[in-house]
Structure 1
Amino acid sequence: MRYIHIDNVEPGQYLGRTIFSGNGAVLLSDGVQLTVYMINTLNRIGVTMIYIKDPLFEDIEIVDVVSEETKRAIMKKMGETFHSIRSGKDFNTKHINGSVDNLLDEVMRNKEVLVQLSDIRTKDNEMYVHALNVSMMSALIGIQMDLPMSQLRELSIGAMLHDIGKVELITDDTSDDLKKHHTWRGFEILKNKRELSLLIAHAAFQHHEKMDGTGLPRAMQGEQIHLYARIVAVANTYDNLLFQTSELGRQMLPHEACEHMMVLAGGQLDREIVIHFLRTVSVYPTGTSVKLSTKETGVVVGQHRGLPGRPIVRVVKSESGTDLDVVEVDLAKHNTIFIDNILQ
């Protein structure tokens, strides 16, 4: 499989990974042959990157921290929860607790797997995918920081619900703009759920605070910001850099986002937490096409847990115009070879 931009997809190619709707239903199945209509529809619903099958890379296995089955189940429960809130109804915290328990179970089993945020997003499912990703990354950071299971669970629930204030119907007439901010609304929703720890509510309340005191809603700084919120802020920032338009005028690629995170460390974000985070994330996701400093092009086919920026790249060279010579370059062993560019 290769991971490519939707603009470079051609009719007749085969989809490499299933695309899901917001409620977990299948939109397009793995293996379907793509038509012009399908490609245009994916473009229209906000899909920017997809996996396609490629005979030269058919053995590439994308190893996820959380399985597709678990992701679908979580997205379904998140959809039900957010629908209840939009309708002005109470929501069932047992669904969220169950989702987090399943997520944590898989994260603990796969904690050595590098994070690759390659789930295909649509306008319909992006809020749920974002919530799931922030929860998963927050849990991995918490594991890196040796947090006990009770705290990992609180952290993961707070991360999954960090944007819950965005889906609440605004019914009050307050003139206080800060209290209209989604973090404040989220805190108000969660603090009234007695079955949830108040610290979970603070993860939603403070995740837009910044270490240098320039954040919202209360311009808190440093240790005034709860640990859960500082962790969620790191995970939330990274996911947003990848999937929202940045100062570059586009979504950032993973290596650009990692570099930007390092710039923010110690200023807006907690430096120690950023360091822990960067140990868990794949800088060059498997399936990504790259150009090496040798001027050769290839596809990332493997990762190193301890060296996320030095993956294994499969280079396909054309010999005599017909035969193909396949060479795998392990950048962890070839210290003088670097990735120069990402090819989309």
Structure 2
Amino acid sequence: MRLINIESVEPGQYLGKTIFSDNGTVLLSTGVQLTVFMISTLKRLGVSTIYIDDPQFRDIESQDMLSDETKRAVIKQMSETFEALRSGKEFSTRAISQTIDQLLDDVMRNSGVMVHLSDIRTADNAAYVHAMNVCMLSTLIGLNMGLNMLQLKDLSIGALLHDIGKLNAPEVQEGRMHHAWRGFEILKMKREYSLLVAHVAFQHHEAVDGSGLPRGITGDEIHTYAKIVAVANTYDNLLYQPESGTPMLPHEACERLGAMSGTLLDHEVLTQFMKVVSVYPNGISVKLSNRKIGVVVGQHRGLPTRPIVRIISREDEDTVEAKEIDLAQHHTLFIEAVLS
């Protein structure tokens, strides 16, 4: 399958990856043939890119870290949690803990997979998908940094709930409560959780140089869990909710993160992040420095900028030739541009 911009999708094409609604149910299933109405609806819902089934690239997998079952469970749980908070009710810490166990199982099973945050977002499910992605990516970084299972669970819960203070509390101006404070106040009352879970919400907007919020603490004053979530949160926001209003592609977001190393973000956490993220995800179309255009079909862990690219050339009407170029073996070639 290929990852393409929604503006390039044509009626009659087949969806390559399931799209979930805001409550975790399936909005559109893999394999459905897209109609004009479906495409228009996806645009109206705020969907910007989707995977389509392309016969020439049908063998390409998006290498998901989480199963569809786990994604549905996490999105559904976040929907229920947010709804409880909006209604002034208590959310179920036990249900969240059970959902995190399911996510941890998937991450441990697929820890060798390069991460691409490819799940389709709509205006309704964006907050839940964001929480899920920050949780998944934080957990994998923590695993790479040698955290044990108890530590990973605290990190994962904190990452999933890092923005819980945003509910019923619009982002604040100077002198008023920042959502990190509110998140800390909510989570520290949950005695079923470690206090470190609350500190993830409290500190995930702190910066290692002291320029962050809400307290301006620096370096080792910031807990490792919060440093990890800060990287995952910043990356996902650059892809989908950038302050500039212009979403970035993965390689652009990684370059931006690199510029924050040692100032806003922790250098060691960023080093581990770059080992697990897919800079040029499978299915994306690219232009190489030799002017050939192809689709990324494979990855090398530890070499995120040197994927395997499949070039399709047409000799004549009846002859199509496919050639794969492994950029890890062709040191003079590089990706010049990412195409929609």
Normalising by the smaller structure, the TM-score range is over 0.9
Aligned length: 339
Q: Secondary structure at the match of 2:322?
A: strand
Q: Does 1:256 align with 2:257?
A: no
Q: Which residue of 2 aligns with 1:195?
A: 192
Residue 74 of structure 1 and its aligned partner are, at CA, apart by: 1.1
Structure 2 stretches lacking a partner, 5+ long = none
Q: Distance in 2 between matches of 1:60 and 1:226?
A: 39
1:32-84 deviation digits (Å, cap 9, x = unpaired): 11111111111111100100111111111221111111111111111111110
SS for the counterpart of 1:119 is: coil
Alignment of 1:293-304 (within 5 A): 293-304=289-300
Deviation per CA, 1:83-109: give whole Å up to 9, x if none: 100100011100110111111111111
Distance in structure 2 (CA, Å) of the matches to 1:246 and 1:4: 23
Q: CA deviation at 1:306?
A: 2.3
SS at 1:133's partner residue?
helix
**Shift in alpha-carbon separation, 1:246–1:2, aligned structure 2, 3 A:** farther
Aligned equivalent of 2:336? 340
Per-residue CA deviations over 1:229-265 (Å, capped at 9, x if unaligned) read 1110000000000112354x51000000111110001
Q: Which residue of structure 2 aligns with residue 130 of structure 1?
A: 130
Decide whether aligned partners of structure 1 residues 273 and 242 sit closer, same or farther in structure 2, where only a CA change above 3 A counts: same
Whether the 8 Å CA contact 1:310–1:332 is kept in 2: the answer is yes
- Paired AA for residue 218 in structure 2: Q
Match of 1:287 in 2: 283
Mapped pair 1:239 → 2:236: yes
Q: State the partner residue of 1:6.
A: 6
CA contact (8 A) 1:4 1:49 kept: yes
Shift in CA distance, 185/246, structure 1 to aligned 2, threshold 3 Å: closer
Identity %: 61
Match of 2:217 among 217, 220, 223: 220
The AA in structure 2 aligned to 1:69 is E
1:332/1:91 CA distance change after superposition, 3 Å: same
CA distance in 1, matches of 2:183, 2:306: 40
Are the equivalent residues in 2 in contact too, given 1:88–1:169 (CA < 8 A)?
Answer: no
1:317–1:326 CA contact under 8 A, matched in 2: yes
Name the CA distance, whole Å, in 1 between partners of 2:260 and 2:106: 30
Match of 1:50 in 2: 50
**Is structure 2 residue 114 aligned with structure 1 residue 147?**
no
Contact 2:158 2:200 (C-alpha < 8 Å) held by counterparts: yes
**Whole-Å separation in 2 of the counterparts to 1:210 and 1:45:** 34
Cα displacement (A) at 1:320: 3.0
> Aligned-pair RMSD on alpha carbons?
1.4
* Structure 1: distance between partners of 2:308 and 2:223: 38
Deviation of 1:180 after TM superposition, in Å, equals 2.4
TM-score normalised per structure 2 = 0.97
CA distance in 2, matches of 1:254, 1:44: 24
Q: What's the secondary structure of 2:296's corresponding residue?
A: strand
- What residue in structure 2 maps to residue 272 of structure 1? 268
Name segments (4+ residues, structure 1) moved above 2 Å.
175-180
- Cα distance between partner residues in 1 of 2:176 and 2:154: 24
1:85–1:169 Cα contact (<8 Å) kept: no
Deviation at 1:322, TM superposition (A): 4.2
Deviations 1:277-297 (A, max 9, x none): 110100000000011111010
Does residue 36 in structure 1 map to residue 36 in structure 2? Answer: yes
Structure-2 separation of matches of 1:40 and 1:226: 45
Distance across 2 between alignment mates of 1:86 and 1:286: 38
Q: Which secondary structure does the structure 2 equivalent of 1:251 belong to?
A: coil
Structure 1 length-normalised TM: 0.96
SS at 1:128 equivalent? helix
User: Where does the alignment leave 5 or more consecutive residues of structure 1 unmatched?
Assistant: none
The AA in structure 2 aligned to 1:228 is Y
CA contact (8 A) 1:291 1:343 kept: yes
1:86 touches 1:169 (CA, 8 Å); kept in 2? no
